[in-house]
Chains A and B, each alone.
Chain A
Amino acid sequence: QQKVQQSPESLSVPEGGMASFNCTSSDRNFQYFWWYRQHSGEGPKALMSIFSDGDKKEGRFTAHLNKASLHVSLHIRDSQPSDSALYFCAASEPNNYAQGLTFGLGTRVSVFP
């Protein structure tokens, strides 16, 4: 079983709309979470990190973390065609560097005009 699971697998959003997708972890040792975005042919780029319960907002992006349920979500407001990409959730343990970052399979977001 994957330790980091993402849903949905894919998502279509109209330009200007809200894109929302989720990540859950089955490992209670994970305390730090990231969202990475990967455009076709490129490497993943860190969008934002979240380490505390609640919301974290950066521009059009808002991440929400619930540590009790190990659930993280990402919301993209006013979606743009350039937001079309594969979004990865990644997690790590505070004191265990041995496994690096653990990634999910990703949610593919398509923004249509």
Chain B
Amino acid sequence: GPKVLQIPSHQIIDMGQMVTLNCDPVSNHLYFYWYKQILGQQMEFLVNFYNGKVMEKSKLFKDQFSVERPDGSYFTLKIQPTALEDSAVYFCASSLARTANSDYTFGSGTRLLVI
């Protein structure tokens, strides 16, 4: 079936540095999402994005986080500066519609370790 690709699969970064996580969503999907999963905890919603704009974000989406999709390329999550508590697996997802009963397609995640 259609896939969401995430690059890189793993990233280790020094605290305080900037990191960009990349996502290539399903080609005809219009809505894009980031979720965060800390080891041993549930996956939590960060943000959703449509038509070049953030539509909704959770309280986990700190000021240090930003998202964009320049010119229809990768959908990116940038963290600047990174903090130790940003260590987690970040999942990108996309959906065709933004109704509450839409199916999401998730990527395999980027495992981020901030040291």
A111 to B: closest C-beta gap in Å:
22
**Which of B42, B100, B104, B107 is close to A46, meaning CB atoms less than 8 Å apart?**
B104
Q: Pick the contact of B44 from A36, A45, A88, A103 — CB < 8 Å?
A: A103
Task: Give A contacts to B, CB under 8 Å.
Answer: 2, 4, 31-32, 34, 36, 41-46, 49, 51, 88, 92-106
Structural contact, B45 and A101, CB atoms closer than 8 A = yes
Which B43-65 residues have a C-beta within 8 angstroms of A? 43-45, 48, 55-56, 58
CA A44 to CA B56, docked complex, whole Å:
22
**In the complex, chain B residues whose CB is within 8 Å of the CB of A97:** 48, 55-56, 98, 100
A88 with B43: CB separation less than 8 A: yes
The listed residue with most A CB atoms (<10 A of its CB), out of B35, B41, B42, B105, is: B42
Residues of A within 8 A of B107 (CB): 43
How many whole Å from A65's CB to the nearest CB in chain B? Answer: 13
A100 touching B48 by the CB < 8 A rule? yes
Instruction: Determine if A42 and B56 form an interchain contact, defined as CB atoms under 8 angstroms apart.
Output: no
Q: Which 3 A-B pairs have the closest CB atoms?
A: A100-B45, A43-B106, A103-B43
